[in-house]
Structure 1
Amino acid sequence: MHRYRHRLRQTAWLIAMLAGLSGCGTAIARPSAGPVPVLAQGTVSVRDQVLTDNERRRTVNPDGYARKLAKLSEAPYSFFRGTSPLFYRRLFAALPASLRAAPAVIVHGDLHLENFTALPGADGVYYGIDDFDESLPGPASIDLIRCLSSIVVAYGDDESLLGAFLDGYRQGTDGRMATASVAITKLIRKQSNATQAEMLAKRTTATRPRQMKPGDATKALTPAQQATLQAAVAAGKLGGLDGLPCEDAVQRFAGTASLDLFRFEGVFGNGGDRDRIVEIKELLPSVLAGHLGTPSDDGARYRQAVRQFQGAAASPVSDTTFGNYRMLIRYRAACKDTVSPEDVGPGDRQAFLTDLGKITGAAHTRSGRGGALATFVDAQRALLIRTAQRQGNQSLNDYKAFGASRR
């Protein structure tokens, strides 16, 4: 009965939102990161575990839920990206004590090869880390194992590639940040020339007022819904938007793990080249909360992660309670692109992974524990690699089981 009432409350909010209404309330909590008991994993199919992990969204956002399940079936890396609850249940069930005792930082929580991206900085575009939905205070080993495991899924369990990432991490803790990857250099050069006008032309019409361009990954909103969205953005008090009208907005489906979250994109301004595109994205409690503890304020822990991973030059991020949901609000940067694993040639992979390690090590070092992090990686290198190999190969096997159980 409680679960039924919970779904009714979620559905009622969606109906209210679609009617152009808004309200105030506490954010609906994400179910525990371990809804399938660890001891039962051997008797519960992978597919049933994944469906249980995503059950919260089936009635709340059925379109996003269907898109996410389809995405999980596309490729092993997509499955890895979209099944972090399963990944972490397996990890924490067998996490060695020495890795659990790693120096504490703000962990990203879902660090993988495609969560590194081009970002605007004080000295121009740089390659960094974004998307902190799962961030929480915790042992640095969590990020290392998750990212190393993504390397296994993308490139196999070649120890030289895994070691390259850890070599880079060690350098990053010492402040050695020069990047050498051809793929990263090429992307940064391209994104450094990206302009606001080009982004507006790509994503909006040239009409006055502007309209968001429709596509397979968007859903139109009514004027009443757009007005509600503008009120939510105004409540978030994102700097630079004061008084600017929302010309148009759409619901957008993007990402992999976040495909079933509510996400909106709106263009604010007066039809000129200075118009801004604003992203509004639902923020749930971290999938790691069941393992590392629940913070009192999800918006605050997200902003804390932004500060650690992106530093003082980070773009502003705001949040607001909208209905029963916490929504993140930020500008869409003109430079926003990532290097996909398949875009990195075999001869560039060592340099690419070393660079990603440098970026991660430097970000963790902003916690003030660079020396302890370096000592930890030196001492636990072999165990980190073995643990990531186990986790990555298990994800590959889970992907096969997920697809096989569908037939």
Structure 2
Amino acid sequence: MPQERTSPLRAVPGATPRERAALGKAARRRTPRSSHHAYEPPAGRPDPLALLEAQSATRVPELVPIRYGRMTESPFRFYRGAAAIMASDLAGTPASGIRAQLCGDAHLLNFRLLASPERHLLFDINDFDETLPGPWEWDVKRLAASLVIAGRANGFTDKERARVVRATVRSYRESMIRFADMRNLDVWYAKVDEERLRAMAAGKLAAAGRRRVAGATAKARTRDSLQAFAKLTEVADGRLRIAPDPPLVVPLADLLPDAERRATEGQFRKLLRGYARSLPSDRRSLLADFRPVDMARKVVGVGSVGTRCWIFLLMGRDGEDPLFLQAKEADTSVLAPFAGASAYRNQGERVVAGQRLMQAAGDIFLGWERVDGFDGKRRDFYVRQLRDWKGIAAPEQMVPRGMSAFGELCGTTLARAHARSGDRIAIAAYLGHGDVFDRALETFAERYADQNERDHRALVDAVTAGRLTAAGEGRR
């Protein structure tokens, strides 16, 4: 197990709540809350396409056109893949100087239903590829802008989008104030569970919305290794294997000639053995009861397309006891050039540490490993279950009232995640009881949505002109 590191985000040792609140109020004088409305592209703004191309240079070349193809589909899909672009833009925006552990990519689809180890359904942040300590405002701004972009896609009016953003940011602000008054352990145990989801639906949604919430929670429980087993496997020549679905799922046996395949298979078995050492002893014992059966390359997400992502089929007691693990390449966070380098040398460990710090409950198989010589290079990976009661929102089906309610859930969840690492008392004092910050982010989100549309158009034009190649493909 790696040596523990002390978080750099704790309050000044020995500071009283009053002293911590004073820090937050002093930050208002340096950076007025109203200043957060600002976003204007600076004169020397980096070319957004050049930022995407720089990322693509380190990715699997034949998969990069799939990424561009997905990002051209709509401004919202572009935004999902543009975390590096927004990180560069956020670096020039006002910040209070108070830091927390960030998700780094806190758009609305990275909040979803997940299973706790105790088999309770929770609502939480899901994606931590870009996690890093940084200004807490960056996560809130990325969330707010994503809601405006999704609202525009749904044809919401200016007033409807404004209400969605204000509800979301107000929920973050009021939740942070509530967490500031709580004991440390109570903050750590706080969560949004299924009971709270149903209470929210009963109080804020019409009958159709309540039915969708009930349906989403029921469906999430079916999305586990058994469901993945039924969907992703086949028996070929008497052998159980992951079913090919190129280019989205390509088994290792179909990807490489025999000699290379055997060498790569050996690297993956080494990855699994090494990754096990990052797990607590009880989880290592559980993992040891499963044996690897097959492995495949898998295309996932939008921003992640082209990074090396592999899925492993393992079997336990018998042919009806599957476990699917996903090993995803972890590179330097897009926030690092602006927020500072990670304290972790292994980027997979960076992802896992951030996820464990921010989530209310985590995947029991979450861990990391570094593989030397893989693809001729040293690569970091983090590993988790492929599916474990995961339920994702469908923003295109949301009406304004539903998106407001969803935004409120995201706001309180993000506040809880930040409160676990940052100085929640200072952040709460900075935000205050008025709606100054809420209204500022309403303006920021609209301005940044405009920028996102310009960047999306630039990508579409680049594909049309032949500068970049985009590939269309279906999604499983």
| TM class by smaller structure | 0.7 to 0.9
Moved over 6 A (4+): none
Is the 1:262–1:281 contact (alpha carbons within 8 Å) kept by the matching residues of 2?
yes
Name the counterpart of 2:100: 105
Name the counterpart of 1:374: 428
Q: Which runs of 5+ in 1 are unaligned?
A: 1-36
Name the CA distance, whole Å, in 2 between partners of 1:285 and 1:275: 32
Is the 1:102–1:141 contact (alpha carbons within 8 Å) kept by the matching residues of 2?
no
Name the counterpart of 2:109: 114
TM-score (norm 1): 0.81
- Indicate yes or no: 2:274 matched with 1:235: yes
Name the counterpart of 2:368: 319
Q: 1:334 to 1:272 in 2, by over 3 A?
A: farther
Helix, strand or coil: the match of 2:57?
helix
Measure how far apart 1:171 and its partner are: 4.0
Correspondent of 2:45 among 32, 37, 41: 41
Measure how far apart 1:74 and its partner are: 1.2
Helix, strand or coil: the match of 1:287?
coil
Helix, strand or coil: the match of 2:91?
helix
- Indicate yes or no: 2:220 matched with 1:191: yes
Following superposition of structure 1 onto structure 2, how do residues 70-149 of structure 1 map, counting pairs within 5 Å?
Answer: 70-93=69-92, 95-96=93-94, 100-121=95-116, 122=118, 124-149=120-145
Q: Which runs of 5+ in 2 are unaligned?
A: 1-40, 153-157, 180-189, 202-208, 254-260, 373-377, 465-476
Percent identical:
22
Name the CA distance, whole Å, in 2 between partners of 1:185 and 1:165: 22
**Does 380-389 or 111-120 show the bigger shift?**
380-389
Correspondent of 1:257 among 299, 303, 318: 303
Correspondent of 2:146 among 150, 153, 157: 150
**Does 124-133 or 186-195 show the bigger shift?**
186-195
Correspondent of 1:398 among 440, 443, 455: 455
Is the 2:167–2:404 contact (alpha carbons within 8 Å) kept by the matching residues of 1?
yes
Name the counterpart of 1:212: 242
Name the CA distance, whole Å, in 2 between partners of 1:233 and 1:349: 40
Name the counterpart of 1:24: none
Name the CA distance, whole Å, in 2 between partners of 1:51 and 1:305: 24
Is the 2:98–2:422 contact (alpha carbons within 8 Å) kept by the matching residues of 1?
no
Measure how far apart 1:312 and its partner are: 4.5
TM-score (norm 2): 0.70
- Indicate yes or no: 2:287 matched with 1:288: no
Amino acid at match of 2:428: A
Helix, strand or coil: the match of 1:266?
strand
Name the CA distance, whole Å, in 1 between partners of 2:245 and 2:422: 45
* Bigger radius of gyration among the two: 2
Q: 1:64 to 1:154 in 2, by over 3 A?
A: same
- Indicate yes or no: 2:307 matched with 1:277: no
Measure how far apart 1:236 and its partner are: 0.8
Q: Deviations over 1:31-87 (max 9, x none)?
A: xxxxxx975437x5x44x244333423xx5112212111111111111111122222
Helix, strand or coil: the match of 1:54?
helix
Is the 1:153–1:392 contact (alpha carbons within 8 Å) kept by the matching residues of 2?
yes
Q: 1:402 to 1:65 in 2, by over 3 A?
A: same
Is the 1:184–1:352 contact (alpha carbons within 8 Å) kept by the matching residues of 2?
no
Name the CA distance, whole Å, in 2 between partners of 1:371 and 1:53: 39
Measure how far apart 1:401 and its partner are: 2.5
Is the 2:219–2:391 contact (alpha carbons within 8 Å) kept by the matching residues of 1?
no
Measure how far apart 1:284 and its partner are: 0.2
Measure how far apart 1:266 and its partner are: 0.9
- Indicate yes or no: 2:218 matched with 1:161: no
Measure how far apart 1:359 and its partner are: 1.4
- Indicate yes or no: 2:453 matched with 1:387: no
Measure how far apart 1:103 and its partner are: 2.9
Is the 2:168–2:407 contact (alpha carbons within 8 Å) kept by the matching residues of 1?
yes
Name the counterpart of 1:248: 294
Q: 1:184 to 1:109 in 2, by over 3 A?
A: farther
Q: RMSD between aligned alpha carbons?
A: 2.5
Q: Deviations over 1:274-330 (max 9, x none)?
A: 221110110001000000011132233322221222134543321111121001112
Amino acid at match of 1:295: S
Following superposition of structure 1 onto structure 2, how do residues 336-355 of structure 1 map, counting pairs within 5 Å?
Answer: 336-355=390-409
Helix, strand or coil: the match of 2:242?
coil
Is the 1:319–1:327 contact (alpha carbons within 8 Å) kept by the matching residues of 2?
yes
Q: 1:38 to 1:267 in 2, by over 3 A?
A: farther
**Does 64-73 or 225-234 show the bigger shift?**
225-234
Helix, strand or coil: the match of 2:463?
coil
Is the 1:91–1:391 contact (alpha carbons within 8 Å) kept by the matching residues of 2?
no
Is the 2:81–2:302 contact (alpha carbons within 8 Å) kept by the matching residues of 1?
yes
Helix, strand or coil: the match of 1:110?
coil
Name the CA distance, whole Å, in 2 between partners of 1:146 and 1:232: 34
